Amino acid sequence: MTMTRQQHRRRTPITILSLLFIVMTMTLGPTSSSAAETDWWNPVARPAPDSQINVTGEPFKGTDSQGEVRGLVDAHNHLMSNEAFGGRLICGKTFSEKGIADALKDCPEHYPDGTLAIFDYITHGGDGKHDPVGWPTFKDWPAYDSMTHQANYYAWIERAWRGGQRVLVNDLVTNGMICSVYPFKDRSCDEMTSIRLQAKLTYDMQDHIDKMYGGTGKGWFRIVTDSAQAREVIEQGKLAVILGVETSEPFGCKQVLDIAQCDKEDIDKGLDELYDLGVRSMFLCHKFDNALCGVRFDEHGLGTAINVGQFLSTGTFWKTEKCTGPQKDNPIGEASSEAEEDLPAGTEVPEYDEDAQCNVRGLTGLGEYAVRGMMKRKMMLEIDHMSVKATGRVLDIFEAEQYPGVLSSHSWMDLNWTERVYSLGGFVAQYMHGSEEFSAEAKRTDALREKYGVGYGYGTDFNGIGEHPAPRGAGTSNPVTYPFKSVDGGSVIARQTTGERTWDYNTDGAAHAGMIPDWIEDIRRVGGQDVVNDLLRGAESYLGTWGASEDHKAGVNLASGSTASASSSESNPFTSYAPSRAVDGKPDTRWASDWSGDQWLRLDLGSASLVKRVTLDWERAYGKAYRIQLSADGTNWQSVWSTTTGDGGLDTARFTGVPARYVRVQGLERGTEWGYSLREVGVYSK
């Protein structure tokens, strides 16, 4: 009995070790799914049937010799807009648990011949007729000039990732007015309800892809909520997905007859909700003037249609004025009789003076509150759809606060703003135009990118209201030749096949998101390797802007609550315009001088500090010519900054730091018939 027990004890460790060895062998050694473990970019199991990817080779990962991530940036896409506008404007889904046949099918009203594809022929003419069958034939869609069919099927996004894309901004998008007037819908037109659903489905798509790769966190599609996460994902060779918002009336902030339908509480609640959903960038206005800001107009017939939509939503048409600087909003174009049919009897779209191209509406008080709320939450602001007047004010605010979080993602910013965006530390991308046009656009700002050491991005706007690069033709002198290598040279890319359809960029153009690598190759052939190199640096530049926004710390305003005196103060029996009103931290109070040119405002900071920056928020009565002076004793003054071209708004004066206790704003020439009037003055050491 004892011997038996002793023999049992001798065998036990051998048995346990054997079992452990077997488990390790099964876990680490070759198995039937070894390809998925060795070739980490391939799924354990893909749905069958499904689209092909047609890319071979390992996706690049890690950092370059300078420690920077590499990769292309799609800074403006709409993965889930099929769920927007009432759910029937964009036909087909980005993914489906039921498979590709369920995902890629047309809207029911498009059968049998596309006659009721109303939005298609409204936006680009023709009769909208097409073969509605998607999977597996895809005779007529997706296509570069179709705005009503899914272009972002997950496998096509996968092909873009395999071809070198490492950042994708998924802008959650909708428009309540378009939804309400479009005859086909199967859900609410409430904008925030749609935004919530699209956010949820983006996370569902991440889960869907994770399942193919064996579990949570294993897939290539990774939603990130901070720049450090994004860097980690890209270093792993995967796709970092950032959530953005592009909607016309966020938080319910529409305006009706110029009266805001929201308040500061709505804005704070809305920003908090979006942040909790994972949103890190957004537009404050889009297509329609709202309670936050005026928009940069759309052009031609589409502009007229949107202007009609604005009237139906807000009771007001766009209003224009002469521009005060080189920046301009888009020309609206002539009124369209078809669009006017939706207006009440007797109402006509206004005609607009060609010399008055700027929107009169800029950034409102509520809009400024929202901008500062985004800064507080370290979010990035998209300026592309803002009017010139609104954009100018935003850039003034960001410059005054030294906040870098500004984005232009798809060619809607006036080109004259580019250097101001770069000097702040912001990021710029161009719309996905054809390779010739895109390369020419890139060349226009090439010197600025070199000056600021930044990369470049593109905004595809897939599933948005815009066409995509048309085919240059198989007979062109420098067509895309298949197969070709990816931007990093590590993968081989063949023609893309889904079902019975194979796309060739030369004859099909950018029909869907899977054609992004082909479009990049076309750019390389047309515009040269330098353009592609700038695009390959896009991921690092985008994350640089995001990271700097996260790291931003508001400067300490040395002028807050300081002792203020002035040469004069305007007298008013109902309110005070005392000098102290310029340093009380309240944007709705102000100091105002008498109506004469030689006036000054003096601040006593209480003790000597290094002064390097002064901000001045002018009321309508601004200084055209003035200087900033500093003093240690209040008697001997040193001029450190001056201008003779002041135009009001928010000015920021930067200069070499000087120790000083006293700061004086010395007016030399008024910009109006009134005196000088300052809402707030800020004094900073950095």
Greater model confidence, 117 or 266: 266
How much is the average pLDDT of 644-673?
Answer: 96
Residues 123-175 have pLDDT tens digits of: 666 788 899 999 999 999 999 998 899 999 999 999 999 999 999 999 999 99
CA–CA gap between residue 5 and residue 1 (Å, rounded): 6
Q: Which residue has tokens 């730091």?
A: 657
- Judged against a pLDDT cut of 50, whether residue 13 lies above it is answered with no
CA–CA gap between residue 662 and residue 238 (Å, rounded): 54
Q: How confident is the model at residue 118 (pLDDT cuts 50, 70, 90)?
A: confident
The mean-pLDDT minimum among 37-41, 90-94, 363-367, 598-602 falls in 37-41
The two structure tokens encoding residue 207: 């889960």
The mean-pLDDT minimum among 51-65, 292-306, 583-597 falls in 292-306
How much is the average pLDDT of 15-35?
Answer: 34
**Contact by Cβ (8 Å): 673, 657:** no
Q: What's the pLDDT at 126?
A: 74
The two structure tokens encoding residue 161: 């990732």
Q: Using the Cα atoms of residue 233, residue 77, residue 88 and residue 181 in order, give the sign of their dihedral.
A: positive
The two structure tokens encoding residue 446: 């090439």
Q: What's the pLDDT at 123?
A: 67
Q: What DSSP string runs through 347-383?
A: --PPP--TT--EES--B-HHHHHHHHHHHHTT-EEE-
How much is the average pLDDT of 307-331?
Answer: 93
Give me the phi and psi of 605, to 5 degrees please. Answer: -75, -10
Q: What's the pLDDT at 335?
A: 59
Residues 429-472 have pLDDT tens digits of: 999 999 999 999 999 999 999 999 999 999 999 999 788 999 99
Based on the number of CB atoms within 10 Å of its own CB, is 656 exposed (0-12), middle (13-18) or buried (19 or more)?
exposed
Could you tell me which residues come within 8 angstroms of residue 345 by beta carbon, excluding any fewer than 6 positions away?
none
**Contact by Cβ (8 Å): 500, 181:** no
CA–CA gap between residue 512 and residue 94 (Å, rounded): 12
DSSP code, position 645: -
The closest of 113, 146, 150, 147 to 135, measured between CA atoms, is 150
Amino acid letter for position 592: A
The two structure tokens encoding residue 434: 């054809």
Residues 97-113 have pLDDT tens digits of: 999 999 999 999 999 99
Pairing of strands 279-283, 380-382: parallel
**Contact by Cβ (8 Å): 664, 628:** yes
- Judged against a pLDDT cut of 60, whether residue 8 lies above it is answered with no
Is 445 strand, coil or helix? coil
How much is the average pLDDT of 618-634?
Answer: 97
Residues 85-101 have pLDDT tens digits of: 999 999 999 999 999 99
Strand partners, 408: 428
Query: What share of the chain has pLDDT > 70, as a percent?
Result: 93
Pairing of strands 406-408, 380-382: parallel
CA–CA gap between residue 553 and residue 538 (Å, rounded): 25
Is 259 strand, coil or helix? strand
Spell out the alpha helix ranges (H) of 33-80: 34-38
Q: How confident is the model at residue 610 (pLDDT cuts 50, 70, 90)?
A: very high
Residue count of the chain = 686
Based on the number of CB atoms within 10 Å of its own CB, is 18 exposed (0-12), middle (13-18) or buried (19 or more)?
exposed
The closest of 245, 238, 170, 242 to 209, measured between CA atoms, is 238
Whether omega for the bond prior to residue 326 falls within 30 degrees of 0, making it cis, is no
Q: How far is CA 152 from the centre of its chain?
A: 18
Other beta carbons within 10 angstroms of residue 103's beta carbon come to: 23
Region label for 62, one of left (φ > 0), alpha (ψ between -120 and 50) or beta (otherwise): left
Q: What's the pLDDT at 337?
A: 59
- Judged against a pLDDT cut of 80, whether residue 6 lies above it is answered with no
CB environment 110-137: b (16+ within 10 A), e (fewer): beeebebbbbbbbbbeeebebbbbbbee
- Judged against a pLDDT cut of 70, whether residue 250 lies above it is answered with yes
Instruction: Please work out, in degrees rounded to the nearest 5, the angle formed at the alpha carbon of residue 621 by the alpha carbons of 615 and 624.
Output: 65
Give me the phi and psi of 194, to 5 degrees please. Answer: -65, -40
CA–CA gap between residue 522 and residue 154 (Å, rounded): 23
- Judged against a pLDDT cut of 90, whether residue 117 lies above it is answered with no
Is 545 strand, coil or helix? helix
Spell out the alpha helix ranges (H) of 29-136: 34-38, 100-103, 118-124
**Contact by Cβ (8 Å): 56, 492:** yes
How much is the average pLDDT of 402-421?
Answer: 97
Based on the number of CB atoms within 10 Å of its own CB, is 75 exposed (0-12), middle (13-18) or buried (19 or more)?
buried
Q: How confident is the model at residue 396 (pLDDT cuts 50, 70, 90)?
A: very high
Strand partners, 628: 641, 665
DSSP collapsed to 3 states, 272-334: HHHHHHCEEEEECCECECCCCECECCCCHHHHHHHHHHHHHHHCCCCCEECCCCCCCCCCCCC
Query: What share of the chain has pLDDT > 90, as a percent?
Result: 84
Q: What's the pLDDT at 234?
A: 98
Instruction: Please work out, in degrees rounded to the nearest 5, the angle formed at the alpha carbon of residue 155 by the alpha carbons of 152 and 156.
Output: 50
- Judged against a pLDDT cut of 80, whether residue 488 lies above it is answered with yes
Residues 502-527 have pLDDT tens digits of: 999 999 999 999 999 999 999 999 99
CA–CA gap between residue 352 and residue 331 (Å, rounded): 9
Greater model confidence, 17 or 654: 654
Mean pLDDT of the chain, nearest integer: 92
How much is the average pLDDT of 561-571?
Answer: 96
Could you tell me which residues come within 8 angstroms of residue 20 by beta carbon, excluding any fewer than 6 positions away?
none
CA–CA gap between residue 19 and residue 25 (Å, rounded): 10
**Contact by Cβ (8 Å): 154, 210:** no
